[in-house]
Amino acid sequence: MFYWLLKGFLTPILRTLFRPWVEGGERVPSEGGAILASNHLSFSDSIFLPLVVPRRITFLAKADYFTGKGVKGKLKRGFFSGVGQVPIDRSGGAASEAALVTGRRILADGRLLGLYPEGTRSPDGRLYRGKTGVARMALECGVPVIPVAMINTDVVQPTGKKIPNIGRVGVRIGKPLDFSRYAGMEGDRFVLRSITDEIMYELMLLSGQEYVDQYATKAKADIELAKTAAREAMVSDDPAPERRAS
């Protein structure tokens, strides 16, 4: 109930400020389970996609959003629950399996599941290698995968910016992808990789992003490492205090 109350409250405000456009909205089925597999440019992706899709979308979100303390923590939990997000532990191993179980339950209930195959936000606006969990869920639950490209959300709300810029955002929805030809092969890692790569290829075409055959988490780590090295180089090139004083 809170989902629809929050959506009803936010929709006229967000439509007025950001004038979101959508292409291919009719490709989202009116009923039944399906996966909406989206690129991930900004925190606000999970706000604007539900805004333009009539059906409720449930996202798998990192548990950190739900663990805050005090009044602020309660408000955050209420907001993320209200916009249809379910907390999961993304640390890997058994936690990843628990996330798959949660996703399967949502799909088995005939709901829409929103996933970001890249696993995290793009660090530089490019499209990164997808993780195979989306393929495994699609095969195990026998549901279509609908590729979704979020457009310009990284300009409206860049990473780290809490208050978004005013600008126009877009949502481009592709044709549903049917992987029933691979039924029963969810244990084959080569099949899972092939399906995931097909999904990412469609996202590349829809979004116009440059594709990078590397996981976004690795790219983020490399960027942070480069920043650290640059800072250390600046310090080492800085004159010694006694020399500066002279």
The pLDDT value given to residue 99: 77
Domain 2-214, architecture per CATH: 3-Layer(aba) Sandwich (3.40)
Q: Secondary structure of the chain in the HEC alphabet?
A: CHHHHHHHHHHHHHHHHHCCEEECHHHCCCCCCEEEEECCCCCCHHHHHHHHCCCCEEEEEEHHHHCCCHHHHHHHHHHHHHCCEEEECCCCCHHHHHHHHHHHHHHHCCCEEEECCCCCCCCCCCEECCCCHHHHHHHHHCCCEEEEEEECHHHHCCCCCCCCCCCCCEEEECCCECCHHHCCCCCCHHHHHHHHHHHHHHHHHHHCCCEECCCHHHHHHHHHHHHHHHHHHHHHHCCCHHHHHC
Mean of the per-residue pLDDT values for the chain? 88
Percent of the chain with pLDDT over 90: 65
Q: What is this structure's pTM?
A: 0.85
| Structure confidence by residue, pLDDT tens digits, 19-73 | 999 999 999 999 999 999 999 999 999 999 999 999 999 998 766 666 667 777 6
Domain boundaries, the chain: 2-214
Residue bearing the bigger pLDDT, 66 or 231: 231
